[in-house]
Amino acid sequence: MPPTILHIDMDAFFASVEQRVNPALRGKPIAVCGANARTVVLTASYEARAYGVKTGMTLPEARGLCPGLIVVPSDHERYTDVSRRLLTIYQDYTPLVEVFSVDEAFLDITGSLTLFGGGEAIASAVKHRIRREMQLTASVGIAPNKILAKLGSGLKKPDGLVRIEPQDVPMLLEDLPVKELCGIGPNLERALADMDIRTCGQMGRTPVERLIGRFGIIGHSLKAMGRGQDDRPVVPTGEEPEAKSIGHSMTLARDVRRPDEIEHPLIELSEMVGRRARRNRYGGNVVTLTLRYADFQTFSRQRRLQSFLNDGMEIYLAARRILGTVRLEQAVRLIGVSLSGLIPDTGQLPLFETDQRRNRLLATMDGINDRYGEWTVRWGTLIAGHPHKAVISPAWRPKGVREYH
Amino acid sequence: MKLKISRGELLTGFQRVQGVVEKRNTMPILSNMLFEAKGDQVILFATDLEIGIRGTYKAEVSQPGGVTVSARKLYEIVRELPEGTVTITSNDEHRVEIEAGKSEFKVLGLPPQEFPAMPTVESEPLMPMDRKVLSDLIRKTVFAAGDNNARYILNGLLVTLYTKDKKRFLRFVGTDGHRLAVIERQLDDGKGRGLPQEQTAIIPKKAALEIKKLLEENEEGPELGVSKNQMIFKRGGLLLLARLMEGSYPNYQQVIPKENEKRVAVNKAELEGALRRVSILSREKTSAIKLALEPDTLTLSSSNPDMGEAKETIAAKFGQEGLTTGFNARYLLDALAAIDAEEAVLEFKDALSPCIIRQPDDPDYLCVVMPMRV
């Protein structure tokens, strides 16, 4: 039997969750933004979208288009909690649920079709339960593979249900711009345009050798994508390969020029990374610092360390040494810290009593923060600032190393 | 600048600067060396701003002058040249021409003024050292020092000069927070007059490794000294300067166990072989192995859930009740490599306490390795 895949995409997820919680926001143009005033619009409600407000706009840009815009700071604990509850709904229909991001999931329902009476029946049932139990709407795509299911969920938003049959595929893709396909970002789009490939139809007809010559091994996938083919399985959440890195980033309250002004957020991010590594019993030996300049130019530098570590302090020391090697050419807008080269905790004991005490201290702090919430106990240096609420990364998963709240 | 020099002399000089020149491209000129001809010699100088090395080499200088040029490229060129005389000239545009036999190279250089200045050597008294003693001090401790450790100070060696019963001693300590090596050596009587009674410095690991390389050239007469902010190594016309590291070194004496009463003597080569074999199947990147001590045997084992497992038993006189613990095999191998005897002695207290590794005929050397929870 050919596979049947659902892609469920929550409509204006963060904004809808906020409108559900606060009735005063319903029917109004709202934009959910990061906790600090300088972040960009994360999600706009459909009322705001009518004015042209889009994800990624800065607040002044959004307000320029929609003067009555209500700005709501994001509350990630709330969204990840809703996301976890959605997962339990999906899992009532199939065990093969891949959480793709906080507001998207793939369901392989091939095996449950007869049980629930077909693809549309399952999609309608899921949509109905999301509406009844969560007071939210979702758009669903039904297709023989992931790439088409994802395409389908985006065709009739909001509250859509689109089935893509194999025979519809050539017509659907013929004039579809390549950027509409999941996995083709702006860089790839530009590179394809340089080869005169703008639509999926063109990409599917391009000889595979040409694509491989330009893009290497992914040439095969690009050709297949252009023809609406995709054999990637739905990987149930919890069975995905182990994380390669643990990282956090934040947009600063204002652009800063002096390296010492970056210190405080650097400590904060390093602490968050260390905390998450310890929570999942990982240690890493590569620390990466990412900086984004005021003009959005972004770059990373990394440092390989001798031993595997997960103490925020040591991550910070490494990140600061990297910062010391960078000559800032512009004011910095965003910084990110990540730990990679991850291995499960080695069990190596430290030689020095001070390090042993330090490990006990961290375990105690982690225990308190597990119980009473993040930042309940924190280093004195971090008391002055407003502890940062993490932005949910696209790689968010309901459990495991990617989880953060 | 114009000069003639033997290929052998030039190769020695170029080889010596290779370890010091900066490999990361933070400041491009640091991948160059300074080449200066005056009198009847060539002076070569390279630095990464932390360490500087300066050597003089016999040459026939017909026109004095200087230039700075890629240390790596010139070394690669000279390495491939046949034995004989090499002619080197540089013009006003700082282009360096190298001629030898039928070969001719033109390499672009930069004016010598752009190169960082050679640090001046303060007139500190230097102590003459026995080559073997200095080599042991470094070789037996440097492996335990940190390599790009997050705690910067551990990337150095602690060097202490002290006086006891009117005799001078030099002590080197290296640690990366998981293991530690300490060695002490008495200096020959009468040497080092004018040196302070006590002196402490932390020298960068990279400098120690460069000195170790220079000592392997088997030339006698090295001298060592420490000024307020730099370490000086001198041998004839060869000079290596390293900026001292600033910070407080951890209290290493505290972690040397005093009550490790469970001793076991093992054949060093046998243990090394077993460690290498068993660690092949240890968990990736950690080299974790289990060590089980029985009255007459020592059993090493490893297991990797994705791979399989390995086990090897060797004869060892333990003669006590059993003990099972875990170690990073690499740490034990590093420590054993520094033991210059057929037998090595391991001393334990319990499974989670540090182990001491000793060389039976060298009471002034020991290495401490902290176990792993396995």
Q: pLDDT tens digits, residue range A304-352?
A: 888 888 999 999 999 998 998 888 888 998 899 999 988 888 888 999 9
Sheet bearing B323-328, strands edge to edge:
B308-315, B297-304, B288-293, B323-328
Mean pLDDT of B276-291: 90
**Three state DSSP letters for chain A:** CCCCEEEEEECCHHHHHHHHHCHHHCCCCEEEECCCCCCEEEEECHHHHCCCCCCCCEHHHHHHHCCCCEEEECCHHHHHHHHHHHHHHHCCCCCCEEEEECCEEEEECHHHHHHHCCHHHHHHHHHHHHHHHHCCCEEEEEECCHHHHHHHHCCCCCCCEEECCHHHHHHHHHCCEHHHCCCCCHHHHHHHHHCCCCEHHHHHHCCHHHHHHHHCCHHHHHHHHHCCCCCCCCCCCCCCCCCCEEEEEEEEEEEECCHHHHHHHHHHHHHHHHHHHHHCCEEEEEEEEEEEECCCCEEEEEEEEEEEECCHHHHHHHHHHHHHCCCCCCCEEEEEEEEECCEECCCECCCCHHHHHHHHHHHHHHHHHHHHCCCCCCCHHHCCCCCCCCCCCCCCCCCCCCCCC
pLDDT recorded at residue A218: 82
In this predicted structure, which of A244-253, B132-141, B151-160, B309-318 has the lowest mean pLDDT?
A244-253
CATH number of B256-369: 3.10.150.10
pLDDT at A390 over 90: no
What is the percentage of chain B residues whose pLDDT exceeds 90? 72
Residue A40 and residue A351: Cα distance in Å, rounded?
46
3-state secondary structure of B279: helix
Residue B169 and residue A34: Cα distance in Å, rounded?
62
pLDDT at A139 over 50: yes
Residue B134 C-alpha, separation from nearest chain A C-alpha, in angstroms: 26
Averaged confidence pLDDT in chain A: 87
Report which DSSP code applies to B6: E
pLDDT recorded at residue A404: 43
pLDDT at B217 over 70: yes
Taking the Cβ of residue B250 and every Cβ of chain A, the question of whether any pair is shorter than 8 Å is answered with: yes
| B128-243 maps to CATH 3.10.150.10 | yes
Residue A235 and residue A96: Cα distance in Å, rounded?
7
pLDDT at A369 over 90: no
A-chain CB neighbours of B327 within 8 Å are none
The pLDDT-based confidence of A180 (bands split at 50, 70, 90) is: confident
Q: What separation, in Å, do the N-terminal and C-terminal C-alpha atoms of chain A show?
A: 40
Residue A158 C-alpha, separation from nearest chain B C-alpha, in angstroms: 46
Interface of B with A in 285-314 (CB under 8 A): 285-286, 288
Do B128-243 and B256-369 share a fold? yes
Nearest CA in chain A to B179: A351
Mean pLDDT of A369-376: 82
β-pairing, B343-348 vs B323-328, is unpaired
Give the one of A307, A351, A352 whose C-beta lies nearest to B149's C-beta. A307
Q: Using a cut of 0.80, tell me whether the model's pTM lies above it.
A: no
| Residues contacting residue A190 through CB under 8 Å, at least 6 positions apart | none
**What is the CB neighbour count within 10 angstroms for residue B86?**
22
What is the percentage of chain B residues whose pLDDT exceeds 70? 97
- The number of angstroms, rounded, from the C-alpha of B193 to the middle of its chain's C-alpha atoms is 27
- The number of angstroms, rounded, from the C-alpha of B347 to the middle of its chain's C-alpha atoms is 27
Picking from A309, A352, A357 by the largest number of B CB atoms within 10 A of its own CB, the best residue to mutate is A352
Taking the Cβ of residue B253 and every Cβ of chain A, the question of whether any pair is shorter than 8 Å is answered with: no
- Each residue's pLDDT tens digit, B14-50: 999 999 997 766 678 889 999 999 999 999 999 998 8
Residue A53 and residue A50: Cα distance in Å, rounded?
7
Residue B90: in which H helix or E strand, if any? strand B85-90
A143 closest CA partner among A157, A160, A162: A162
Taking the Cβ of residue B326 and every Cβ of chain A, the question of whether any pair is shorter than 8 Å is answered with: yes
The larger pLDDT score, comparing residue A70 to residue B191, is at A70
Active site residues of A: 104
Nearest CA in chain A to B284: A343
The pLDDT-based confidence of B8 (bands split at 50, 70, 90) is: very high
B-chain CB neighbours of A309 within 8 Å are 150
> Cβ contact (<8 Å) for A306 and B147?
yes
A-chain CB neighbours of B354 within 8 Å are 351
CB B286 within 8 A of CB B238: no
B-chain CB neighbours of A306 within 8 Å are 146-149, 176
For chain B, the domains span 2-114, 128-243, 256-369
Set out the domains of chain A in order of their start, with CATH numbers: 1-164 (3.30.70.270), 168-226 (1.10.150.20), 245-382 (3.30.1490.100)
Residue A199 and residue A222: Cα distance in Å, rounded?
12
Sheet bearing A41-44, strands edge to edge:
A41-44, A30-33, A70-73
pLDDT recorded at residue A102: 86
pLDDT at A387 over 60: no
Residue B327 and residue B362: Cα distance in Å, rounded?
24
> Cβ contact (<8 Å) for A349 and B147?
no
3-state secondary structure of B74: helix
Residue A40 and residue A296: Cα distance in Å, rounded?
12
Beta bridge partners of B167: B164
The pLDDT-based confidence of A403 (bands split at 50, 70, 90) is: very low
Mean pLDDT of A135-159: 92
Could you say which of 3.40.50.300, 3.10.150.10, 3.90.400.10, 3.50.30.30 is the CATH number of the domain covering B2-114?
3.10.150.10
What's the token pair of residue A280?
């999942």
Taking the Cβ of residue B329 and every Cβ of chain A, the question of whether any pair is shorter than 8 Å is answered with: no
* Amino acid at the residue B245: M
Residue A382 and residue A389: Cα distance in Å, rounded?
13
The pLDDT-based confidence of B283 (bands split at 50, 70, 90) is: confident
β-pairing, B127-128 vs B156-164, is unpaired
Read off φ and ψ for residue A385, nearest 5 degrees. -80, 175
Q: What angle do CA A130, A134, A140 make, to 5 degrees?
A: 25
Residue B179 C-alpha, separation from nearest chain A C-alpha, in angstroms: 7
B-chain CB neighbours of A352 within 8 Å are 177, 250-251, 254-255
Burial of B221 (0-12, 13-18, 19+ CB in 10 A): exposed
pLDDT at A40 over 50: yes
pLDDT recorded at residue B26: 67
